[in-house]
Amino acid sequence: MTVVADGVAVVDGHLVVERAGFRLDLRLRVAPGEVVAVLGPNGAGKTTTLRALAGLVPLTGGHLAIDGSTLDRPATGTFVRPERRPIGVVFQDYLLFPHLSARDNVAFGPRCHGASKQRADEIAQQWLDRVGLADLARRKPRQLSGGQSQRIALARALAIEPALLLLDEPLAALDARTRMDTRAQLHRHLAEHRGATLLVTHDPLDALVLADRLIIIEDGRVVQEGDAATITAQPRTDYVARLVGLNLYRGKGSGHTVVLPDGFGIAVDDTVDGDAFVAFGPAAVSLFLARPDGSPRNCWPATVAGIQRYGDNLRVELTGPIAAAADITPAAAAHLRLETGQSVWAAVKATETRAYPAR
């Protein structure tokens, strides 16, 4: 994106990894100090991306350079082994060495980079201080909680002062409460990290809180890229729409109407022509027992396919001419006596929709 001016990117790569039934093809630039989140469903290639950057999986095509030096370029046979890359990794389940104390885990990297035992211990102690775990230096990993392990793993990866820090689902292994605290701390540490950071996650909240920029991948390809505001406002695939909690449709726009492939027309406020997306939030959908009258509304008969708790509200999955999710209050649900299989009328105001070109 625009933040990355030419020549100052830490990471400059075109990652191509091909194996049976899967192809990752991802162009990637990350600037110093920038935090990029790679978001995608399971099997999209998130972990492969991370492993290719770390050198744990060789590229089969494309290239990767960090700080201007080429680490992997199959065409010329260049491949730099993981231990020679300026990259730190925080693994999903941390992989703290079980036989080493917290301090020795953190000192492991500096030791391998040529620091004396004493110097490595000093560096480790500093990092333990920074993550607030100095008093647990002698503990073995099995004596640490999940949140503590996560912080030790972060300290261990940062102790080698990597040009690029990789985080694999950094908060996925934590319970909800620990997660919030750890997320805030992680945010602070990433802000202090002068190198580039790339994290892969399937949790949109982690991505939104931690990252400056999101890259969303599906089936090994980038489907959308940009800052959080752009992506949440204008999702471009069903996955992204679900991720940010929007109903999303694609059709042909002409003026204030977008006609979906099956002929269903949606009235919109924006003016669009040609291939276009229409998005609206579940809260914008109202449900009625009988067809509502008046007002320039989108209105269609639907069937309740499922009802789930969603925060303080209920999320109602609707089938019909278009599939949609509607958020309604429990009071409204009680008034409508909603149950699965029931027929209702759904309505969305044109002013509550957003329409934007698909190309």
Partner 1 sequence: MTGPRAPADVLVPAEAAAGPRRGLGVRAPAVLLIPAGLAVAFLVLPLAGLLFRAPWSTLPQRLAEPGVLTALLLSLRTASLATVVCVVLGVPLAWLLARVRFPGRRVVKALVTVPLVLPPVVGGLALLLLLGRNGLIGRYPYQWFGYSIPFTTTAVVIAEAFVALPFLVIAVEGALRGADDRYEEAAATLGASRFTTFRRVTLPLVAPGIVAGATLCWARALGEFGATIMFAGSFPGTTRTMPVAVYLTLETDLDGAIVLSLVLLLVSVGILVSLRDRWVSSA
Binding site for partner 1 (CB under 8 A): 54-56, 81-85, 87-89, 91, 95, 97-100, 108-109, 112-113, 141-142, 156-157, 160
Sequence-ordered strand ranges (E) for the chain: 11-19, 22-30, 35-39, 61-66, 69-73, 78-79, 87-90, 164-168, 196-201, 213-218, 221-226, 247-259, 265-280, 286-288, 297-310, 313-319, 324-328, 343-349, 354-357
Of 8 and 112, nearer to partner 1 (C-beta) is 112
Determine which helix (DSSP H) or strand (DSSP E) holds 240, and give its type and residue range: helix 238-244
Q: How far is the CB of 124 from partner 1 (least distance, A)?
A: 12
Radius of gyration of the chain (CA): 24
Rounded-to-integer distance, Cα 169 and Cα 95, Å = 13
Nearer to partner 1 by Cβ, of 130 and 349: the residue is: 130
- Smallest distance from partner 1 to CB 273, Å: 50
Tokens for 120?
């490595």
Q: Cβ-count burial of 261 within 10 angstroms (0-12 exposed, 13-18 middle, 19+ buried)?
A: exposed
Q: How far apart are CA 82 and CA 305, in angstroms?
A: 49
Instruction: Tell me how far, at minimum, the Cβ of 182 lies from partner 1, in Å.
Output: 19
Gap between the Cα atoms of 126 and 175, Å rounded: 27
Which CB sits closer to partner 1, 109 or 220? 109
| Closer Cβ to partner 1, 45 or 109, answer by number | 109
Supply the minimum distance, in Å, between the C-beta of residue 36 and partner 1: 18
In the numeric block, the tokens 């300026």 are attached to 86
Q: Rank residues 95 and 180 by Cβ distance to partner 1 and give the closer one.
A: 95
Closest approach, Cβ 106 to partner 1, in A, equals 10
Q: How far apart are CA 279 and CA 244, in angstroms?
A: 11
One DSSP character per residue, 303-317 reads EEEEEEEETTEEEEE
Indicate the residue among 98 and 341 with the shorter CB distance to partner 1: 98
Shortest distance in whole angstroms from residue 172 CB to partner 1: 16
- Residue 282 Cβ, how far from partner 1 at the closest point, in Å? 40
Contact 354, 279 (CB under 8 A): yes
Query: Token pair for residue 277?
Result: 């997306």
Least distance in Å: CB of 219 to partner 1? 25
DSSP string, 118-181: HHHHHHHHHHHHHTT-GGGTT--GGGS-HHHHHHHHHHHHHTT--SEEEEESTTTTS-HHHHHH
Alpha-carbon span 359 to 213, nearest angstrom: 21
Nearer to partner 1, 170 or 204 (CB): 170
For residue 22, the minimal CB distance to partner 1 (Å) is: 20
- As measured in angstroms, the least distance from the Cβ of 83 to partner 1 is 5
Pick between residue 112 and residue 233 the one whose CB is nearest to partner 1. 112
Query: Which of 143, 329 has the CB closer to partner 1?
Result: 143
With respect to partner 1, which residue has the nearer C-beta, 94 or 277?
Answer: 94
* Both tokens assigned to 136: 């647990």
Q: CA 149, CA 276: separation in Å to the nearest integer?
A: 46
Note whether 281 and 245 are within 8 A (CB): yes
